[in-house]
Structure 1
Amino acid sequence: MRTPTSPGGPGEIPATPGDGVPRTRSTVVPSEVFAAQFLFLTGLALPVVSALVTSLPVHEGSFTAGVVVAGVTALLTAMLGSLGIDRAGSTVVAATLIAVLDVVVCGLLYYATPGAGFAVLAVLPVAWTSIQLPALSRACVLGTALAAVVVVVTVRDLTGEQSWTTAVTTLLNLALLFALTSWAGSRWTARNRSQRRLLESQTRLVGSALDSARTQERTLAEVLDVVDFAVVTLDADGAVTANRAAEALARRVGAPDATEAVLHAPLYRADGTTPLAASEKPLALVRSGQDVEGLLVRLGPPGPAQVPLSVSIRRVTGPRSDRYVFVARDVSKELADAQARDDAVAAVSHEIKTPLTAALGYLELALAEPDLGDEARELVEVALDNTERMLALSRDFLSARSRTPGVPLQLLMEPCRPSELARSAVEGVRPLATERLITVRLDTRTESTIPADPLRLRQVLDNLLTNAVKYNRYDGTIDVVVQDAHRADEALDLPVEHDIASEGAVAVPGVEIVVRDTGRGMTEDELASLFTRFYRTDRARSSGVQGTGLGLSITQDIVRAHGGSVDITSRLEEGTTVTVWLPAAADESVARDVA
């Protein structure tokens, strides 16, 4: 943005070359000439009146001529002001002529009345000219002033009115005074113009930055109006700005505008019926120092018009006050999709339970036959065991739904040995491993007994070993290690690898089950999402290996319900290690329902 030069100051300031602003000549406006001349005539009036009263004039003709010329300059100044000449050249010429006449007035009055100090008054037009007018005008006025002093001093010396020493002294003093005045005025003007040029350059830069900021603001506003999620900003004064999506959202819930929707519309929890308390609202949470990221709330009263929103808020700290940025995304479609998936999982699980229950009943009847041979009984027992596991898996599917589960998994705690469960699980997976030429090695370093649910703990081992076989390479290996291990008390916030004894921390005894394979491995990003329900890596989906993405999620829930932990480390093309740690004593504070 270019800022024009105002004409009210001491003229337009020439810009530096190459700054994009055309160079202009120094100009002066009639009002400035009128002001300077008024000051000069005011200063001249006092000594003139004093000379008339005290009869000081020695040369009355020169005195009269000086007064007449002063009147002429006053008349010219008045005419200049009334005509309003604003052309640069005309005004400068007129101002130069008036300044020269002022110097002539001072010379005539000085010659007429040497003791009245009229010579010093010539400093006024010299100084004003050096500040306001260009170099040629300054030279004319200064030359006229010096010439007038030389003429007057020379004439007075030749007529014998003063000695030559006095004449030389007067000449040098006045010449030095005029020269210094002109030099000081021109230097001040040059410095002032340099500062003005710098100020104008900075003004242009600020204007350009302001234009750029406004352009970016308009661009951002256009972008925000295009996106389909609501963006609302709130400042300390309560002023709200919103994009089109926010205004549309306000109309959906019956609010007159986005301001009303953000500040006063009712908010409910994810269930859609429980109102949020004032301290639980997103803005209150952010103001209290908490992070709000993807918070699920429902906007509007319960009913068809209620909108589920995923809300995130950012606090933008400013020099004067903070500003809050709301980002709200309508998740109606996502929730509907999740509901449809839950319904499908529930329907399939219930359909699977019916034939499994029937098969389970017939197998139990078969085992009750007294004439069943030992070999057949063993086969039926294996079939019964696997049928029970399949029935438990169907219940797991119901528990793995994203909404509130209808059938929570209950832990039936009893003393059990993880080493025995590991042996049974290894034997159960060995046929599948043999088909893929995978070697399974078991190392039981402890026979400790811990309180646990044997069925659920066996489910954990089956999940881990099945994954280790399915995602291993042909001719690979699986190492299973069961050993005693201590973990740091979580309340102390110590890492597992920390030297507990050296810190004097509480060490919790337990049993550790390590399953290590030589499979494909995973990346860090894949590890971060590994416990998400229904999550499978891209390579797992493209490999053709069947799976639901529920095994590790349920495994983590079961282990946590026991008060333990699951840790996974992996490296691409080297393998994966899963470590399950279970406490040696039951924690009564741990919930036994796995949801």
Structure 2
Amino acid sequence: MSRWRIVSNIAKVWMLILLCSSVAYAITFGLFGFIPQPGDFIRYILSETLAFLIFGLTVFLIGRTKNSKRSDVLNTMTDALRQIAKGNFRVKLNAQKLTEQNHPFGKIFDSINHMAEELNRMEQMRQEFISNVSHEIQSPLTSIRGFANALQNDQLSPEARWRYLKIIEKESTRLSKLSENLLKLTSLESANHPFDPKPYRLDKQLRQVILSLEPQWEEKSMEMDISLDELRIVADEDLMNQLWVNLISNSIKFTPEGGCIKIQLRQKGKFAEVILADTGIGIAEEDQAHIFDRFYKADKSRNRSVGGSGLGLAIVKKIIDMHGGKIEVESRLGEGTKMIVTIPCGYEI
């Protein structure tokens, strides 16, 4: 409690004592107007005793009123916490009035409101997550069930049977990839995920990833324009490998046959900058702010035809955040997309 607060409280007590004494004096003065007056000493004792009783009664009433208000505040807070415990996260306490009055529970009310808002946000994310997962799982399961039923037809030709089996295999692979990405993203977002930064050559890693994906870009007769400066960084090599696989695979997936992908690596001060530019379908401006969200698909119709779970770029963003980096997107529909990844080198240059 501050010095001025103490002085203010002492002044209030003295004012109350003075007021009670004045009231007691007025009462005794009026009383002795109707009965014989005793001596001055007796009158003084009676007046002070009455003042003391009035003071005690006043303090009692003030305390009871404050306790009643405090009890109301406690009951309101307890009821709010009870509602939150039952799963009602839309609770909103009126903390402004208490804060304006410098009430000690004002900050507690603010904390409860903030907690309820965060829990409500997390609940909405949970429901959206479950809805998205259910949707992504339902589609391949429906295909698998449909074609499995069709395979029971004895009149089916060998060619049709083979085609249906390939579709079932493709949808099963898609389910497996979805499960793998979900586990990967969940693990990355947990506090216990391994993070083991070590020095290594980033240019060598990029070349290895590009070579491992050669069957995909060769199948589409794509041109790979690569310009990689020799550069060492300190980072988690396994996580960074996942990052480049996801980004480059995404570019290959959304770039038409005969297209071109340019990959550049250069050093900018204490940072490594990787620029990945393609001549693919591009991303609408209104979608660019959301492409790193879970399950977000910029072009639903095209995404369905090329597959994908909508988790790859969410994993990319999480890995970049873990390394203290950033990713920027420049894109126009029909003209391609440029991704610029900036990662700290992780050592003094």
Report the TM-score when normalising by structure 2.
0.52
Residue 577 (structure 1) aligns with: 338
Residue 434 (structure 1) aligns with: 218
2:287 is aligned, of 526, 545, 548, to 526
Q: Is the partner of 1:432 in helix, strand or coil?
A: helix
Q: Distance in 1 between matches of 2:83 and 2:207?
A: 45
Unaligned runs of 5+ in 2: 1-72, 101-113, 138-175
Q: Distance in 1 between matches of 2:275 and 2:193?
A: 24
Residue 484 (structure 1) aligns with: 267
Matched, 1:414 2:176: no
Matched, 1:568 2:324: no
Q: Distance in 2 between matches of 1:543 and 1:345?
A: 10
Q: Distance in 1 between matches of 2:81 and 2:127?
A: 18
Aligned residue type for 1:537: A
Residue 512 (structure 1) aligns with: 273
CA shift for structure 1 position 470: 0.4
CA shift for structure 1 position 410: 2.0
Aligned residue type for 1:548: S
CA shift for structure 1 position 563: 1.2
Q: Distance in 1 between matches of 2:303 and 2:96?
A: 43
Q: Is the partner of 1:556 in helix, strand or coil?
A: helix
Residue 397 (structure 1) aligns with: 182
8 Å CA contact 1:523, 1:570 repeated in 2: yes
Q: Distance in 2 between matches of 1:269 and 1:527?
A: 41
CA shift for structure 1 position 409: 3.3
8 Å CA contact 2:266, 2:274 repeated in 1: yes
Q: Distance in 1 between matches of 2:320 and 2:188?
A: 20
Q: Is the partner of 2:226 in helix, strand or coil?
A: strand
CA shift for structure 1 position 285: 8.1
CA shift for structure 1 position 544: 0.2
CA shift for structure 1 position 454: 1.1
8 Å CA contact 2:281, 2:333 repeated in 1: yes
CA shift for structure 1 position 417: 1.3
Q: Cα deviation per residue 1:225-270 (whole Å; 9 max; x = unaligned)?
A: xxxxxxxxxxxxxxxxxxxxxxxxxxxxxxxxxxx9xx76744599
- Cα distance change, pair 586–273 in 1 and its aligned pair in 2 (3 A): farther
- Cα distance change, pair 531–281 in 1 and its aligned pair in 2 (3 A): same
- The residue correspondences of 1:279-290 to structure 2 (distance < 5 A) are 284=95
- The residue correspondences of 1:161-200 to structure 2 (distance < 5 A) are none
8 Å CA contact 1:268, 1:275 repeated in 2: no
Residue 307 (structure 2) aligns with: 546
- Cα distance change, pair 544–584 in 1 and its aligned pair in 2 (3 A): same
Residue 319 (structure 2) aligns with: 558
Q: Identity over aligned residues, as a percent? A: 24
Q: Distance in 2 between matches of 1:541 and 1:285?
A: 50
Q: Is the partner of 2:213 in helix, strand or coil?
A: helix
Q: Distance in 1 between matches of 2:84 and 2:130?
A: 13
Q: Distance in 2 between matches of 1:436 and 1:430?
A: 10
Residue 448 (structure 1) aligns with: 231
CA shift for structure 1 position 337: 6.0
Matched, 1:535 2:296: yes
Q: Cα deviation per residue 1:489-534 (whole Å; 9 max; x = unaligned)?
A: xxxxxxxxxxxxxxxxxxxx11111110000111111101111011
Q: Distance in 2 between matches of 1:541 and 1:296?
A: 40
- Cα distance change, pair 422–297 in 1 and its aligned pair in 2 (3 A): same
Residue 242 (structure 2) aligns with: 459
Q: Distance in 1 between matches of 2:134 and 2:256?
A: 36
Aligned residue type for 1:397: L
CA shift for structure 1 position 408: 5.0
Q: Distance in 2 between matches of 1:453 and 1:344?
A: 33
Q: Distance in 2 between matches of 1:575 and 1:562?
A: 27
- The residue correspondences of 1:86-235 to structure 2 (distance < 5 A) are none
Report the TM-score when normalising by structure 1.
0.32
- Cα distance change, pair 549–296 in 1 and its aligned pair in 2 (3 A): farther
CA shift for structure 1 position 297: 2.7
CA shift for structure 1 position 540: 5.3
Structure with max Cα Rg: 1
- Cα distance change, pair 566–271 in 1 and its aligned pair in 2 (3 A): farther
CA RMSD of aligned residues (A): 4.5
CA shift for structure 1 position 399: 4.6
Q: Distance in 2 between matches of 1:456 and 1:556?
A: 11
CA shift for structure 1 position 342: 6.4
Q: Is the partner of 1:475 in helix, strand or coil?
A: coil
- Number of equivalences: 223
Aligned residue type for 2:226: L
Q: Distance in 2 between matches of 1:429 and 1:543?
A: 21
Aligned residue type for 2:116: V
Aligned residue type for 1:559: I
8 Å CA contact 2:266, 2:273 repeated in 1: yes
CA shift for structure 1 position 435: 0.8
Higher helix share: 2
**Which structure's relative contact order is higher, taking Cα pairs within 8 Å and 6+ residues apart?**
2
Q: Is the partner of 1:547 in helix, strand or coil?
A: coil
